[in-house]
């Protein structure tokens, strides 16, 4: 068991190294610091001097991998790769291109992000599992037919519409919750209510359909027939036996949702003015702050890989049959 966990963690680390290399290539070799400087300075003010100055100020004035001008070990260490890319592993994010400390920003913004993402995720899974179980409970009736049709419709609507319509309905017309903003402490509930609900609704269509197929898969199995022949009621069969056994595939599929969660947060946070990591990223993309984008790529991938490893582990805990090969 321990052996298996160590192997998974090491593989995760290997993937993270790959991510790091890829981002380095994307942000330094293909989009060179010169290009970044040109985009950032912008317009007619782009002169070789201005570019050189911009690069020196932000420490981009070094070679990529190998420094000819330096001596000894510094030939390797005074390079962009060692100075800008490797420290990410130690979670040293450095300063953004506008001069702010990225690490400080991330610490400040992690809490609002978490306060939004965690309820959306947990409540979302709970609600969707419930909805899809109800669909399965009423299978082959018009209740199921119309709920599937409705889910397909929900699936076909862009997430942006849910946000815009939700804000319009609940903030502008009904004036139940503020349209956007954030506050610390218990006040945040008011601000988070609408984003969480919209986050759940916008994912509900696709996920309810997906979980429904998983439950239907389970329901054809032998143990379900046994449970029914024992005389258990349909609801007992579904909620006790089928739900328990379907949890395993649900567990694996939730990891597939993690990146979506990230993207959802990106848009949700910037629409609702929540000062989290998502809005930070969007601002960085719009302001072409490459240092921040790079840090967020690394952080996002690290979280995803962490989720991957955790699923692998929880998989083995939830089902003793899973071989640890």
Partner 1 sequence: MPKFVLLATDLALYFQLLVLLAYVRHAVRTPLLRQSWRYVQRDGAAMSAAVVLVIFLFIALLDSVHFRPRLPPAPDAPPGAEIAYSTRTLSVLDVLLTGPRESREKTYSVPLATHQFSKESMQRNGVTVRDFPRLQYGGKHLDQPQEQWAGDVLRRTVNGLGSGLLLALVGAAWVVHRQSRRSTQGFMPSACDVWHGRTALPWRAIGGTLTALLLVFGWVAALWPFYHVMGTDQTGNDVLFMCLKSVRTAVVIGTLATIATIPLALLLGILAGYFKGWVDDGIQYAYTVLSSIPSVLLISAFVLMIQVFIDKNPQLFETGLERADIRLFLLSAILGLTGWAQLARLLRAETLKLGELDYVQAARAFGVSHAGIMRRHILPNVTHIIVIVAVLEFSGLVLYEAVLSYVGVGVDPNTQSFGTMINGARNEMSRDPVIWWTLSAAFAFMVALVLSMTLFASAVREAFDPRARAYRVRPAAAQALPQESAP
Q: Which listed range, 19-27, 78-86, 225-233, 235-243, lies at the site for partner 1 (CB under 8 A)?
A: 19-27
Scored b (16 or more CB within 10 A) or e, 143-158 reads ebeebbeebeebbeee
**Any contact of residue 267 with partner 1 (CB under 8 A)?**
yes
**Any contact of residue 9 with partner 1 (CB under 8 A)?**
no
Alpha helices by DSSP H, 167-276:
188-219, 222-229, 234-236, 243-272
Select from 66, 104, 126, 168 the one that contacts partner 1 (CB under 8 A). Answer: 168
Select from 128, 301, 311, 312 the one that contacts partner 1 (CB under 8 A). Answer: 301
Fill in the DSSP letter of residue 97: T
SS3 assignment, position 101? strand
Footprint of partner 1 on 273-292 (CB under 8 A): 281-282, 285-286, 288, 290
Footprint of partner 1 on 134-163 (CB under 8 A): 139-142, 144-145, 148, 152-153, 155-161
Q: Up-side HSE of residue 13: CA atoms within 13 Å toward CB?
A: 8
Please, what is the minimum distance in Å from the beta carbon of residue 95 to partner 1?
19
Q: Which listed range, 25-33, 51-59, 64-72, 312-320, lies at the site for partner 1 (CB under 8 A)?
A: 25-33
Q: State both tokens at 288.
A: 């072409």
**Any contact of residue 305 with partner 1 (CB under 8 A)?**
yes
Distance CA 201, CA 278 (A): 19
Cβ closer to partner 1: 124 or 205?
205
Q: State both tokens at 48.
A: 């070789």
Footprint of partner 1 on 211-230 (CB under 8 A): 212-213, 216, 220
SS3 assignment, position 95? strand
Select from 6, 39, 76, 111 the one that contacts partner 1 (CB under 8 A). Answer: 39
Distance CA 259, CA 290 (A): 21
**Phi, psi angle pair for 48, to nearest 5°:** -55, -40
Residue 117 CB partners (closer than 8 Å, separation 6+): 261, 265
Residue 167 CB partners (closer than 8 Å, separation 6+): 179, 180, 194, 271, 272
Q: Which listed range, 21-29, 59-67, 93-101, 191-199, lies at the site for partner 1 (CB under 8 A)?
A: 21-29
Select from 6, 35, 57, 317 the one that contacts partner 1 (CB under 8 A). Answer: 35
Task: Evaluate whether 214 touches 275 at the Cβ level (below 8 Å).
Answer: no
**Any contact of residue 55 with partner 1 (CB under 8 A)?**
no
**Any contact of residue 325 with partner 1 (CB under 8 A)?**
no
Strand partners, 101: 95
SS3 assignment, position 274? coil
Cβ closer to partner 1: 237 or 266?
266
Select from 297, 309, 311, 312 the one that contacts partner 1 (CB under 8 A). Answer: 297
Q: Helices 159-166 and 188-219 meet at what angle, rounded to 10? A: 140
**Any contact of residue 308 with partner 1 (CB under 8 A)?**
yes
Q: Determine the length of the chain.
A: 325
Cβ closer to partner 1: 163 or 227?
163
Q: What residue ranges bind partner 1 (CB under 8 A)? A: 14-15, 18-19, 22-23, 26-27, 30-31, 35, 38-39, 139-142, 144-145, 148, 152-153, 155-161, 164, 167-168, 172, 179, 212-213, 216, 220, 259, 262-263, 266-267, 271, 281-282, 285-286, 288, 290, 293, 296-297, 300-301, 304-305, 308
């Amino acid at each position: 068991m321990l052996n298996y966990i160590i192997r998974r963690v090491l593989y995760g680390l290997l993937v993270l190294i790959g991510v790091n290399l890829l981002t380095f290539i994307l942000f330094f070799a293909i989009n060179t610091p010169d290009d970044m400087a040109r985009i950032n300075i912008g317009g007619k003010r782009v002169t070789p001097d201005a570019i050189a100055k911009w690069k020196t100020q932000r420490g981009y004035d070094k070679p990529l991998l190998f420094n000819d001008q330096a001596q000894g070990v510094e030939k390797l260490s005074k390079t962009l790769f060692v100075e800008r890319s490797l420290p990410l592993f130690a979670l040293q994010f450095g300063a953004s291109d506008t001069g702010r400390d990225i690490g400080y920003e991330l610490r400040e913004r992690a809490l609002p992000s978490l306060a939004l993402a965690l309820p959306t995720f947990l409540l979302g899974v709970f609600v969707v599992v419930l909805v899809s179980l109800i669909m399965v409970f009423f299978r082959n009736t018009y209740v199921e037919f119309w709920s599937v049709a409705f889910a397909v419709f929900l699936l076909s609507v862009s997430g942006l519409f849910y946000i815009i319509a939700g804000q319009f309905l609940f903030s502008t017309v009904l004036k139940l919750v503020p349209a956007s903003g954030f506050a610390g402490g218990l006040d945040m509930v008011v601000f988070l209510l609408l984003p969480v609900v919209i986050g759940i609704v916008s994912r509900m269509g696709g996920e309810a359909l997906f979980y429904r197929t998983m439950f239907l898969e389970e329901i054809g199995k032998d143990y379900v027939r046994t449970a029914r022949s024992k005389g258990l009621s349909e609801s007992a069969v579904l909620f006790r036996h089928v739900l328990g056994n379907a949890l395993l595939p649900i567990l694996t599929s939730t990891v597939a949702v993690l990146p979506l969660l990230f993207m959802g947060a990106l848009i949700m946070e910037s629409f609702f003015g929540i000062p989290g990591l998502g809005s930070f990223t969007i601002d960085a993309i719009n302001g072409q702050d490459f240092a921040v984008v790079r840090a967020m790529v690394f952080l996002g991938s690290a979280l995803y890989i962490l989720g991957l490893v955790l699923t692998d582990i929880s998989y083995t805990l939830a089902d003793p049959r899973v071989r640890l090969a």
